[in-house]
Structure 1
Amino acid sequence: MFDISPLKLVALVVLAVVIFGPDKLPKLVAEAMSFIRKVRAFSETAKEDIRKELGPEFKDFEFEDLNPKTFVRKQLATHGEEFGLNDLKELRNGFSKDAADATAAVKAVRADPLGKVAVDDAGTAADPAGPSLTKPAALAPDERPPYDLDAT
């Protein structure tokens, strides 16, 4: 229920001894344990009273079923065919096939939209000379910079 490491537990014990003192600490622990026992007993009697009031037709009722995730999981496990679970699996497989086809189509494209540079399967330029490492020439004062649709 709680995820407390041994180091954190030791730190809590040391902190409790410092705050409450070694003489009051055993009494506080005993009071806390009795309070926890009373709360557990109260919850168990409340659960039994609810089961008794619901009657014999709800003898298999579990309070964990009130959690929506648990309820849906249990219903799908017992009545999955009635809810069209097989159709959902077929639909998911169809989407996977369509996605694979789209990926293959994209990889089949060998040139960029302007048709200037060939592209290999990894998406890198297949220019045998390699990329240009020179700085492009400065634009003229009235010249507009080139616009790349793929960059936006």
Structure 2
Amino acid sequence: MFESVGWLEILVLVVAGLFILGPERLPQGAAWLGRTVRQVKEYATGAREQIKSELGPEFDELRKPLEDLRGIRNFNPRSAVTKHLFDGENPLDDLNGNGSNGGHQAKPADPPKPEQRPLAPGERPPYDSDAT
């Protein structure tokens, strides 16, 4: 329930509670909050158990689509396309030298580029009339 709350947030809440409630009422407020959270958890667990007992085996049938929806939240389109198009093989692994070729051809290497050197004093830079 409080998985995303870090120590800094808890510290801020304690300091805010100290200012709002004061040092003498802060322990009572923390105890009340603990009892309330525990009671809400018990209500939620009781409701889930009641639904589970009333629905019986149909409860598991309802949970399956909900678990599938949770899986969609972590959906990665790149891995899905790779899985369906390349049978789980990543063609980029072949280009990087990772993994086997797997029947896919790697793209040819780029032609070597001419060596670049600094211009001599007074030398004009090369000019390509087709590019401008």
Query: Is the aligned partner of 1:54 residue 2:59?
Result: no
Amino acid at match of 2:89: N
> How far is the alpha carbon of 1:92 from its aligned partner?
4.5
Please report the TM-score for the alignment, with normalisation by the length of structure 1. Answer: 0.50
Computed over aligned residues only, the root mean square deviation of the Cα atoms, in angstroms, reads 4.1
Amino acid at match of 1:146: S
> How far is the alpha carbon of 1:17 from its aligned partner?
1.2
If asked which structure has higher relative contact order (CA below 8 Å, sep 6+), I would say: 2
Please report the TM-score for the alignment, with normalisation by the length of structure 2. Answer: 0.56
The answer for the alignment partner of 1:80 in structure 2 is: none
> How far is the alpha carbon of 1:72 from its aligned partner?
10
What's the CA shift string for 1:64-98, capped at 9, x where partnerless? 8614244899xxxxxxxxxxxxx848545374458
Residue 106 (structure 2) aligned to one of 97, 101, 124: 101
Unaligned runs of at least 5 residues, structure 1: 74-86, 111-118, 120-124, 138-144
Between the two proteins, the alignment pairs up a number of residues equal to 110
Unaligned runs of at least 5 residues, structure 2: 75-82, 96-103
Query: Which is greater in Rg?
Result: 1
The answer for the alignment partner of 1:83 in structure 2 is: none
% of aligned pairs identical? Answer: 19
- Contact residue 17 and residue 25 of structure 1 kept, 8 A: yes
The answer for the alignment partner of 1:132 in structure 2 is: 119
- Contact residue 64 and residue 70 of structure 1 kept, 8 A: no
